[in-house]
Structure formats: C-alpha cells, structure tokens
Structure 1
Amino acid sequence: MDRMVALALVSQHDIAQRLGLNVTDLTCLGHVIGAGERHLSAGDLAQHANVTTGAITGVINRLERAGYVSRQPDPADRRRVRVVLDENAASRVYAVYGPHYQRLAALAADYTPQDRAVLADWFTRARQAMEESLQEIREPAQADPQP
C-alpha cells in the first residue's frame, strides 16, 4: 500500500508538470473540476486544499494564466469570487489522465459487481481513516508530561 501511495505522489508531480502546474495547483484544479457547476468560492477552494486565503490567490492567478480557470463574481454576494473552470480545461486534464483511467476501468472490469462493491467500501472507509489520521497530525501536539 505504501508503494502505491508513493507512486501516486510521484505521478501527481509528473502529471502536474506535464500540465504546466505544480502539485498544489493541480490539486486545486481537481477540486474545481470536482465541484462542477457548483463553482467554488476562492475561500472554499482554500479550505478544500488546506492552504491560506493568501496562498489561494497565487494558485488562482497561476491557474488563470495557464488557461484552466477564470474568476467570476458570486451572484449571491458580489464581494466574493467564484472560480470557474474554462470550457477546454477538463479536456486538457483528461487527455493526460485518460490512459490512467482507462487502465483502472479495464482492471475493474475483471471483478464482479460484488467484488467492486467490497473494494469501493474499503476505499471509502480507508479514505475516512486517512482523513482522521491527517486531522490528528494537523492538531497541535500535546505536550508530554514531564517525569
């Protein structure tokens, strides 16, 4: 499992580089793509990516310059900015990720629907466990009592 996680990290770096981004920018772009028509605010994107609102400004600037997103005023609150995916951005990203997804789909086809349900359950629960672990890591360390 550790080798798969390590390979995923290296892959993200290489994919980001191929798309002209860094890993943080690619992560944020993934959140924008995943949000679909819900259009994340800059603050929401910062929260999803676990970066400061100051840092997200730089991320959005780079994504705009690369032609992946644009800023649009939030119709509900004109003081807020929504991050909107460029109409060609998803196809640019999928062109790089496509072969990977095709291989995973072919692999999944080797399993029964019941097998896939078990795997989906495991990955869902593993993600929850990983999120809990990450939250613990991010919490301020408790001072050990002195003897």
Structure 2
Amino acid sequence: MDGTPRPPASPAQALTAMDHLIAAHLIGQQEMARRLGLTVTDLTCFGFVLQAGPDLLTAGDLAALAQVTTGAVTGILNRLERAGYVTRRPDPTDRRRVRVAAVPAAVSRVEAAYGGHYERLMTLFADYTPAELATITDWFTRATALAHESRAELSTEESG
C-alpha cells in the first residue's frame, strides 16, 4: 500500500478511465491472440475453459458463455484442438456430449504469455488496502453483471 491520497473523482471521470481500460484490454487481447496463434474469440473461449478448471465445460456450455451458436463453437473447438490448446473428452454421463479440457502445455504457454501483465497488476493491487480491493472487486462484479444485461438487451432488440 503506497498511502498516496487519491483525489475525488466524478462518475464521468470513472467512465472515461473505464473506457480507456477496455480499449487497452481489447487491443492487448488482439495482440496476445496473435502471438498465441489464435483469434480473439478462440482465446476468449480458451479462457472460459481455464476458468472452469476441473469442472469441464460441454461444447454447449462454451457456446452459451461465448454467446455463439453451437455450430460456431464447433469451429472454435476444432481450431483450439488443432492448435494444441484443448482436447475433447466423452461426457461420462451423456455419450452424445463432449467435455472440453485444457492441454497442460497450452496452459503453461498462456500463463507465461500473461505472466508479466499479471505481475504488474499484482504490484498495482499492492497499492490498495484490503477494503479498497473489496470495493474494486465489488465494482468489477457489478459492472460485469450490467454488461451482461446490456448485451442481453441488445440481443433482444436485434431479434425483436
């Protein structure tokens, strides 16, 4: 914690800062995907597989998370499998479904690629108290829920 007092900020300033973060993140994701030989959508889907951990996702789960059709997720999984990022395993409870598992070597590659960025973020987090981190975490969680709501509204408007 650096103890530096932070000046008050308005909601407009916070939105501007958020927009800058999102833009930097999108550009960074494009570059990261390129370096890893993937598309941004493929990298995003691999991220969902990683987040699921040992609770392997089905192709349908992945389609829902990525907001793509099951046909599109088949293409994504084909590319990820060819590139050595995932394997498909039979679902033990339903022979018609497959589960998606991350390949350990690919996990190591991605962790190494993101390592420096996450180290810098951990250093940044050290500037904040646990209470401030709780506020930051709450804000990100609630803003993510709002982003999902906005996306759902756009989908409803488009289909309506």
- Give me the TM-score of the superposition, normalised by structure 1: 0.93
Partner of 2:14: none
**2:127 pairs with one of 104, 110, 113:** 110
**SS of match in other structure, 1:37:** coil
Q: Which has the higher contact order (CA 8 A, sep 6+)?
A: 2
Q: Runs of 5+ in structure 1 lacking a partner?
A: none
Q: CA deviation at 1:142?
A: 9.0
Residues 141 and 24 of structure 1: CA distance in aligned 2, closer, same or farther (over 3 Å): closer
Q: For 1:24-73, what per-residue CA distance to the aligned partner results, in whole angstroms no more than 9, with x for missing partners?
A: 10010000011101110111111111111111111111101110101111
Partner of 1:82: 99
Q: CA deviation at 1:124?
A: 1.1
Q: How does 1:24-43 map to 2 (within 5 A)?
A: 24-43=41-60
Q: CA deviation at 1:140?
A: 2.5
Partner of 1:120: 137
Partner of 1:94: 111
Q: CA deviation at 1:13?
A: 0.6
Q: Does 1:130 align with 2:147?
A: yes
Number of residue pairs matched by the alignment: 143
- Percent identity over the alignment? 57
Q: Runs of 5+ in structure 2 lacking a partner?
A: 1-17
Partner of 1:9: 26
Q: CA deviation at 1:127?
A: 1.1
Q: CA deviation at 1:141?
A: 4.9
Worse overlay, 8-17 or 126-135: 126-135
CA distance in 2, matches of 1:90, 1:115: 31
CA distance in 1, matches of 2:107, 2:159: 43
Residues 28 and 142 of structure 1: CA distance in aligned 2, closer, same or farther (over 3 Å): closer
Q: How does 1:58-73 map to 2 (within 5 A)?
A: 58-73=75-90
C-alpha RMSD of the superposition = 1.4
CA distance in 2, matches of 1:142, 1:17: 32
- Give me the TM-score of the superposition, normalised by structure 2: 0.85
Moved over 6 A (4+): none
Residues 135 and 78 of structure 1: CA distance in aligned 2, closer, same or farther (over 3 Å): same
